[in-house]
Amino acid sequence: MNLETSIEYVKGIGPERAKLIKSVLGLSTVEDMLNFYPIRYLDKSKIYTVSQLGEETSQEIQLKGRITQVQEIQTGKTKRLSAKFNDETGSMDLVWFQYSKWLKEQLPINREVYIFGKINVFNRQFSMPHPEIEAEEKKEGDTRLKPIYPGSEKLTKRGLNQRFFQNALRNICREIPNLIEENFPEYLMKTFKFMSRQHAFLNVHFPKDQEHFDKADYRLKFEESFFFQLGYGLKKFHHKTQSHGNPFPIIGDHFNDFYENHLPFELTNAQKRVLKEIRMDMKRPIQMNRLLQGDVGSGKTMVALLTMLIAMDNGFQSCLMAPTEILAQQHYHGIKELLEKTGINIRLLTGSAKAAERRIIHEELENGTLSILVGTHAVLEDKVKFKNLGLAIIDEQHRFGVAQRAKLWAKNKIPPHILVMTATPIPRTLAMSFYSDLDVSVIDEMPVGRKPIITAHRREKDRLYVYNFCKDEIRKGRQVYFVYPLIEESETLDYKNLMEGLEHVMEFFSEYNVTMLHGKMKPDEKDTAMAYFASGKAEIMVATTVIEVGVNVPNASVMVIESSERFGLSQLHQLRGRVGRGAEQSYCILMTSDKLSKESRTRIKTMTETNDGFKISEVDMQLRGPGDILGTQQSGVVDFKRLDLINDLAIIKTTKNTVEKILEADPMLSRPDNMIIKNYYIRYYRGKNKWSKIS
């Protein structure tokens, strides 16, 4: 037997069961089975008595006693199997709502048994639904934790229950000395006092006790994180030594003229620090690969513009790519306005650009007279050819697929410098894991004069109060957003809600101008609506989430989010960032129904308690899980067997530091004591990180 052996050859499985296991659980080899870990453990060292049971008992527990009688009980059309369980201190019922005739016949009557399960309490009577029963004699002092594996009804009905998987894994674990090789050198084993790899697998499936399990769990989590980080570390080293880029040594007239004469405000210290980091990167003949994180309204676009001016001073073109047309337009209009007096040529290319406009852009890009191109996916078209693209800036990169980004990289013989921007703060564990090949810059300071947005939770009964508050703000010369959810699954209904919302708003605010923005509008209609609101001609905008990113109206001071319980946490934070962009106090009002789920309450509470995008991102990851945060383009990457990106921050930190130290001293892993790491990585991990080739 080896790791690639089909599970059909494992004692007790066979071809038919192997086929069923593969179809339901996706397991086909011995290695798959070894990585099929228990989801929890029953503590067999602790035996309760019936008299010790309390209403607070929520964990699976074990009791020892006898089953004295079994009966089928019919209630209407449903049948259940009930058995009386007794020990020396009292009795309780065991109940099965789904059962086979075989179970009824096999229950060991008047024999000593151990039962495992959760306790239910009804009318102060205890019962245990669907218990696990062990009739064999239990050894004194047996302190093993009993593994409970993921299962399914389809498997259980065919006899592939917990006992089946425990026996199958026990048969595989007997072969562990021939299956599992060590992959850490002696110096790592000593530094971290690791359990051997063979013992780790054995004790994660059949722990001797809690201490052995904890050591095994730590060892396997560390290993998983270590080799994952190693892939990124090797990639980063390769990038630093092999990825040639055009050096930008000059800070020239374009940058200096803008900085001295056209900068609308003093840069924050954080912006200055980030610019310095970018400048140091671009001086070198190595492609920059940098992630710029900054909360909503922290001034990332200004940093991007100044970076593009450095590219211009060195004779290169720049491209800024955004995921949506409205965001691309926002960037374009904002940058164009800032560059108005400089004479720099900047153009916008989106899917809705007319043929004549496209021709001009294509010509100017090829002859080099166009310095800055802002666009959407349209910039990836084969017809779009640059004379000398030196800098590619990608906004909200998680919305683009890897293949799309690779096309942009290929627009120049020598790859352009890469600056990735995001206003969606990335939780620390994800930043350390999935972005560790990127150098990270953070703008952690807001422009001077910005006041924190006040966020309040209001219900339907408060609507009149909310509307009057909005009127007060409008009388002060401010503007207001009303945002409605638009979720694809119920688009027609949501569109109807939006129209009804518009009617209510127009009726109550009849003395003011109201404009509307939603996803079904044509691009020119969206532009007109946005311009109407931005110019101050309309005091109120009723919109869907198309305003989530990039819309910038400094005079807007109130954001009312309708049915806010239907929005995700990061989406709520992005929407809130559309206000608070001027010097005046701004407000975000979260309207909800009266009944909220526990998760919705957590989201609303988080929003009212903090404006910190990084804190919000941590809560968001706990609620949604890492896959959703990373986006659908990379959801397959979160395929860790044991490592938990939410709870294992300490392990991720330790492995990241360990990998960095090892590669600093031995970047090719060529030292004799590191060959064990290198050989294992080449055999099992190289190629698994292919989705991360382009960050």
**What whole-number distance in Å separates Cα of residue 430 and Cα of residue 618?**
10
Find, among 375, 367, 372, 369, the residue nearest to 395 by Cα. 375
Q: Does position 669 have pLDDT exceeding 70, yes or no?
A: yes
Q: Distance between CA atoms of 224 and 218, rounded to whole angstroms?
A: 10
Write the burial class of residue 647 (CB in 10 Å: 0-12 exposed, 13-18 middle, 19+ buried).
Answer: exposed
Q: What pLDDT is recorded for position 693?
A: 42
Bridge-based pairing state of the strands 389-395 and 317-321: parallel
Contacts of 673 (CB under 8 A, 6+ apart): 185, 186, 187
630-653 pLDDT, tens digit each:
554 344 455 788 988 878 889 999
What single string gives the DSSP state of each residue in 400-458?
S-HHHHHHHHTTSSSPPEEEEEESSPPPHHHHHHHTTTSEEEEE--PPTTPPPPEEEEE
- 468 CB contacts (<8 Å, ≥6 apart)? none
Q: Which amino acid is at 98?
A: Q
274 closest CA partner among 296, 231, 248, 304: 304
Q: Tell how strand 454-459 and strand 587-592 pair up.
A: parallel
Q: Are 66 and 75 in contact (CB under 8 A)?
A: no
Instruction: Examine the pLDDT at 64 and tell me if it is beyond 60.
Output: yes
Query: 3-class DSSP state for residue 582?
Result: coil
What pLDDT sits at residue 413?
Answer: 79
Among 162-166, 404-408, 616-620, the range scoring the smallest mean pLDDT is 404-408
Contact 201, 180 (CB under 8 A): yes
Radius of gyration of the chain (CA): 31
CA 458 to chain centre: 29
Q: Average pLDDT, stretch 363-371?
A: 95
Q: What is the SS3 assignment for 248-278?
A: CCCCCHHHHHHHHHHCCCCCCHHHHHHHHHH
Single out the residue of 366, 367, 374, 404 nearest to residue 391, CA to CA. Answer: 374
Contact status, residue 429 vs residue 281, Cβ threshold 8 Å: no
Sign of CA dihedral 72, 73, 79, 80: negative
Share of the chain above pLDDT 90, in %: 46
Q: How far is residue 386 CA from its own chain's centroid?
A: 34
DSSP label of 315: T
Give the distance, in angstroms, between the CA of residue 127 and the centroid of all CA atoms in the same chain: 40
Average pLDDT of the residues in 595-618:
91
Least confident of 17-26, 77-86, 95-104, 257-266: 95-104
The answer to whether 227 touches 681, Cβ cutoff 8 Å, is yes
Classify each residue of 550-570 as buried b or exposed e, where b means 16 or more C-beta atoms within 10 Å of its C-beta: bbbbebbbbbbbbbbbbbebb
pLDDT of residue 615: 86
DSSP state of 685: T
Neighbours of 9 (CB within 10 A): 12
Per the prediction, the chain carries an average pLDDT of 86
Model confidence band, residue 489 (pLDDT cutoffs 50, 70, 90) = very low
Q: Do β-strands 289-294 and 417-422 pair in parallel, antiparallel, or remain unpaired?
A: parallel
- What does each C-alpha distance from 661 to 190, 219, 290 come to in angstroms? 16, 19, 21
What's the CA gap between 330 and 524, in Å, rounded?
Answer: 14
Calpha distance 84→63 (Å, rounded): 13
Cβ 314 vs Cβ 249: under 8 Å: yes
Closest CA to 109 of 119, 97, 94: 94
Tens digits of residue pLDDT in 125-146: 888 888 878 775 554 445 578 8
| DSSP per-residue letters across 338-400 | HTTTTT--EEEE-TT--HHHHHHHHHHHHHT---EEEESGGGGSTT---S-EEEEEEESGGGS
Beta bridge partners of 96: 81
Of the pLDDT bands very low, low, confident and very high (cuts 50, 70, 90), residue 518 is: confident
Distance, in Å, from the CA atom of 116 to the CA atom of 62, rounded to the nearest integer, reads 5
Task: Single out the residue of 203, 311, 309 nearest to residue 258, CA to CA.
Answer: 309
Which range among 132-146, 164-178, 534-548 shows the weakest confidence by mean pLDDT?
132-146
Q: CA-CA distance, 95 to 106, in Å (whole number)?
A: 15
Q: Is the dihedral of CA 337, 339, 341, 347 positive or negative?
A: negative
Count of Cβ atoms closer than 10 Å to residue 695 Cβ:
21
Is 284's pLDDT higher than 70?
yes
Neighbour tally for 59: CB within 10 Å: 11
The larger pLDDT score, comparing residue 450 to residue 491, is at 450
Structure-token pair, residue 244 = 């040639």
Task: Assess contact for 450 and 297: CB atoms under 8 A.
Answer: yes
- β pairing state of 90-96 and 78-87: antiparallel
Q: Which residue's structure tokens are 């093993």?
A: 144
The pLDDT of residue 546 is above 80: no
Quickly state the pLDDT bin for 663 (edges 50, 70, 90). Answer: very high
The DSSP code for 673 is G
Query: Other CB atoms closer than 10 Å to residue 448's CB: what's the count?
Result: 10
- Which of the 8 DSSP states describes residue 564? G
Element spanning 56, H or E? none
Is the pLDDT assigned to residue 329 strictly greater than 60?
Answer: yes
Contact 358, 349 (CB under 8 A): yes
Domains and CATH numbers, the chain: 1-45+145-178 (1.10.150), 48-140 (2.40.50.140), 253-283+299-422 (3.40.50.300), 454-610 (3.40.50.300)
Tokens 């309760």 -> residue:
48
Cβ atoms of 420 and 408 within 8 Å: the answer is no
Mean pLDDT within 387-407: 75
pLDDT digits (tens, 9 = 90+) for 418-463: 998 887 777 776 776 666 667 888 888 888 777 899 999 999 999 9
Global pTM value: 0.68
> Rounded to whole angstroms, how far apart are CA atoms 638 and 627?
6
The arithmetic mean of pLDDT across residues 482-495, rounded, is 67
Q: Are 559 and 579 in contact (CB under 8 A)?
A: yes
Q: How much of the chain, in percent, has pLDDT values that exceed 70?
A: 89
Residue 72 to residue 105: CA distance in whole angstroms: 12
pLDDT band at 479 (very low <50, low <70, confident <90, very high): very high
Position 692 confidence tier, pLDDT thresholds 50, 70, 90? very low
pLDDT at position 688 over 60: no
- To the nearest 10 degrees (0 to 180), the angle between helices 210-242 and 675-684 is 90
Which stretch, 23-37, 47-61, 476-490, has highest mean pLDDT? Answer: 23-37
Rounded to a whole number, what is the largest CA-CA distance in the chain? 95
Task: Give the Cα separation of 173 and 150 in Å (integer).
Answer: 18
Give residue 632's pLDDT: 41
Tell me how far the alpha carbon of residue 353 is from its chain's centroid.
Answer: 34
